[in-house]
Every structure is written in structure tokens, then in C-alpha cells.
Structure 1
Amino acid sequence: MLEARDLSIGYGRRTIGTGLNLTVAPGDVLCLLGPNGCGKTTLFRTLLGLLPPLSGEVLLSGNPITAQRRAEVARQISYVPQAHAPPFPFEALEVVLMGRTARLGAFGQPSRADRDRAFLAMEQLGIGHLAEADYSRLSGGQRQLVLIARALAQEAPLMVMDEPTASLDFGNEAHVLARISGLARAAAHGGHGVVLSTHNPDHAFQLGARVLLMKSGQRMACGPCDEVLTTEALSAVYGIDVSVETTSSGRKVCLPAVPSDLTGT
């Protein structure tokens, strides 16, 4: 579905990352992990065709993404950004309805079926009651859920999500992660492949995801989370001692060590 081959990313003459390879197929969840500034957002922009590769190529359905029309790309990939500042006081449902744009003609207007699909996406995320709310006055977490609903309404087979849980409270974070997992599991019935970035390695364990571990624009490791997210790898990438432990329920969690100069010991 989506493939990057020996990709170099950056802006103009400024190279951010090199030698990046990845594939995402239906049913896959690929989690990008790495410290701030490692190149995750630049990689996303390149995968979406918003930035040209400095070298290498991005293939979407087997064809170079740079050779495809934007509407064609939008029917295959939806995008959830980190944040969104609306230029006008749209209602939340209107923002979600924008996800249907790629499926309309050049001068097409949303139909009743399009509005129903947009509202269903909001209902699936538990925010149907916000349909008529002023999007600009919602909390950061509520706006993030609206953006995820917009991506769902787009009905693209691939979703690219840049820190989709960054503004969410504990309950909504768990809800969104469960929804992401469900999208992938439903791949055999027209579901999604998902690429997401996060600052929390625990999310990869919760999703049972494959992981691309990055540092300074370089691929440090890529593979199943149980194999990639080791104490040694995480400590090297984040520059602190990290312990990967298994809870009594069998779930793996990552625990950073607190520096002794902060504990007073």
C-alpha cells in the first residue's frame, strides 16, 4: 500500500534523514518512535507527498506518489496533524465533513449521505454531541478527536497520524488507541493500514505495532515492538536509562530511570 525505498528527507539542501525504508500494508500499524527533532514530522510530510524526497522514492499502490494527483492521493491516505488552528469558526461537523472533499467532484457539494458519514465518524469517537459546537472553542483534546473523525470520514485505506493522542486525557487516549487497533484488525473487511508517531513507547505495546525507531534522522531499528523496544535500544535512543518490564497482567511497559541528581540520592 505504502512503501519508502532508501529515502532521504529534508528541506532544500538541508538533509534531516537518510537511508529510510518502510512498508505499510492493510492490517499494519507502524509506530514511529524517537526523540524530538529526529525527523518524524519531516518523514510524514514526505510520505504524504507534501515534500519531495531528496533521494529515494515513496510508492503509493505501487506508483511514485509524486506522479499522482493530490485528489488521487487523498482518496488513499488521510492525515491527522498534531494541531490545527481553524481560519473560521466552523462547526465541528463541518470540519469532519471536509474529509469527504476528495470524494466529491470539482464543484460537488456534500450530499446527505456525506453528512451522515461524517456524523457517524464523530459518533464512533464519542463526540457526536459536539457536531454543532464551534470548533475553535473546543478544548485541544476535543479538536484532536474532531481531526481523527475527519480522517475516518475520508474513508481512505491508509491513515497517517502525527501524535494523535498528544492532547488527549487518559480516558480519550485509551479510547483512540483502541479505535486505531480496531481499524487495523478490520483490514480484511476494508479496514486501514496506520502509520502513527508518538512519544510514548507504551503505545506501541498497546497496539501490538511494528516500530520504526529513529534518532537524528537515521533508522536505528525496525520490526515488531517486542523485538525492537528493548532496554538497550530505548536507552541509546533517548539518552537515559530505560527499563522494559512486564506487569502481572502480561503487558509490557517502559519505565525511565529518574536521575539521581533529581531524587537527592
Structure 2
Amino acid sequence: MRLEARDLSIGYGREVVGSSLTLSVAPGRVVCLLGPNGCGKTTLFRTLLGLLPPLGGEVLLGGDPIARLKRAEIARRIAYVPQAHAPPFPFETLEVVMMGRTARLGAFAQPGAADRTAAQAALDRLGIGDLAARDYSRLSGGQRQLVLIARALAQAAPLIVMDEPTASLDFGNQAQVLAQIAGLAQGAGQGVILSTHDPDQAFALGADVVLMSDGRIIGNGAAETVLSGAALSRVYGLPVAVEMTESGRRVCLPARRG
């Protein structure tokens, strides 16, 4: 299933945050959305999810205008991992992950054994199965982020939107999550779009890149093509060098001066 934005304008009421935005997330591909704070990444995600109406253009989900789809149908097609989540009640961790199964239940159906099994499997896949009975509200920020990713996995949607999924994770968990994202695309054939402040993650994932600045897309394509030192320097306002390591991996570094 493909997610598309065509000549999209985004914002709140009469306040335009971004315009002329065109992008596509294909099955089996990872797209990294990069850009400085305030460039419109979160507003774009909320519009792609149908939480905000477009101010112009359209969003297509599996070829259907998202504005014509009911919320339950959107949830069956696309899962969302937010940047942060404050639980209103002290749910058990497994209960939070099982919430991802809601879109696959009937109007008055209750989660069953198969849903519980899917939720536990998602936790186990991320190496946090031992947290299942823990109070979600008492977990660390990094643990809660992994639980939200597990909830998206349990949802079993063909598309996943992730808003800075590694922001509160330590180095080891960041590597684990990136490996899971790569597996979703390469193994399960899911389409993933994620925002990040680390361009190295795009290189590590072999991802496509959408580079934003001031509410516009200034680069769209393979990471090796879009993420040049010149483009990153322009977007972030400091000299950036893209270098090759001995192992053949590209990395981005602030350019040395003097």
C-alpha cells in the first residue's frame, strides 16, 4: 500500500506551515524526513494521518483520498508512533500494546487470545517482553517509546508513521529499533516514514530522504543523492561534511574549521 502527498499545503486554520509538498512512501521502503525544528515535520505527519485537514492538495492512502476514509479504515492501513505519550490511566504495558489491535476488532468486540498473543509477540520482538505486566506510566521514557513501537507492530498495518522514534533511546536501543525498521521494510514489505534529526540514520537504513526547510521540500530521493554536505549546510546553518568510513559507510559531521 502506498502513501502519497500531492502538492500538499499544511497548517492550522489560516496559518500555512508548509506548501507544495509532494512525496510518496512505497511498500517495502523507508523514508526519512529530515529538517530543523519548526520546519513543519510534525504538522506534515498529522496531515498525512488525517488528523489535520490539508489546506491544499491531497493525501492518498492506497489510492484513496484520506479525507473520504473513516478513522477505523485509516487505522487498518496506517499505524502511528508518536514522539511522546502521557497515559491518562495506569495501564499495564501489555494493555497499551493491545490497543493497537482495536482497529481489527468489530464495533463491540473485545480483544481475545489471538490479540494478546500478537501484543506479547510485538513486545518480545523488541526485547521488552518482561515489561508486559509493568505499569506503563512508571516506565522510563525510553521504555515507553519502545512500547509505542510495539503497539504499532501489533497493529499490523501496511504503513507506519514514526515521529522521531529513537529520540529518547540509548545507543543500544537506537540500533535495535533501526534494525527493526529495516526488517519491517525488507522482510514484511511495509512502508515506513520516520522523522529524525540524525542524517546518519538515513544512510544506515538505505532510506529515501525528504529534506525540509522553512515549510518546503528542498530534496527528495535516495540518501546518497540528497544528503550532500552542501544541502545539509544550507538546511542546518553550519558547515557539514559527508565522509566515508573505512568500512564504506557514509557519516555526517560538522566540518572542521581552521
User: TM-score normalized by structure 1?
Assistant: 0.96
The residue correspondences of 1:1-265 to structure 2 (distance < 5 A) are 1-187=2-188, 191-257=189-255
What is the identity, as a one-letter code, of the residue corresponding to 1:250? G
Name the amino acid aligned to 2:40: G
Which amino acid is the alignment partner of residue 105 of structure 2?
L
Q: Structure 2 CA distance, aligned partners of 1:194 and 1:201?
A: 16
3-state SS in 2 of match to 1:203: helix
Residues of 1 paired with 2:131 and 2:148: CA distance?
Answer: 13
- Count of residue pairs the alignment pairs up: 257
Spell out, residue by residue over 1:128-156, the C-alpha distance to the aligned partner (whole angstroms, 9 max, x if none).
00000010000000000000000000000
Show structure 1 runs of 5+ residues with no match. Answer: none
C-alpha distance in 1, partners of 2:4/2:162?
16
Q: What amino acid is aligned across from residue 230 of structure 1 in structure 2? A: S
Residue 119 (structure 1) shift: 0.3
Partner amino acid for 1:117? A
SS of structure 2 residue aligned to 1:75: helix
For residues 85 and 241 of structure 1, the distance between their equivalents in structure 2, rounded to whole angstroms, comes to 37
Q: List 4+ stretches of structure 1 deviating above 2 A.
A: none
SS of structure 2 residue aligned to 1:10? strand
The structural deviation recorded for 1:257 is 3.6
Q: TM-score, normalised by structure 2?
A: 0.98
Give a deviation string over 1:62-89, Cα, whole Å, max 9, x none.
1100100000000000000000000000
Shift of 1:256: 1.4
Distance 1:143 1:172 in 2: 12
Instruction: Work out the CA distance in 2 between the residues paired with 1:104 and 1:49.
Output: 21
2: CA distance, partners of 1:53 / 1:256? 36
Percent identical among aligned pairs is 71
> What secondary structure, in the 3-state scheme, does the structure 1 residue paired with 2:33 have?
strand
> In the alignment, residue 252 of structure 1 is paired with which amino acid?
R
CA deviation vs aligned residue, 1:88-126 (integer Å, no higher than 9, x gap): 000100000000000011111000000000000000000
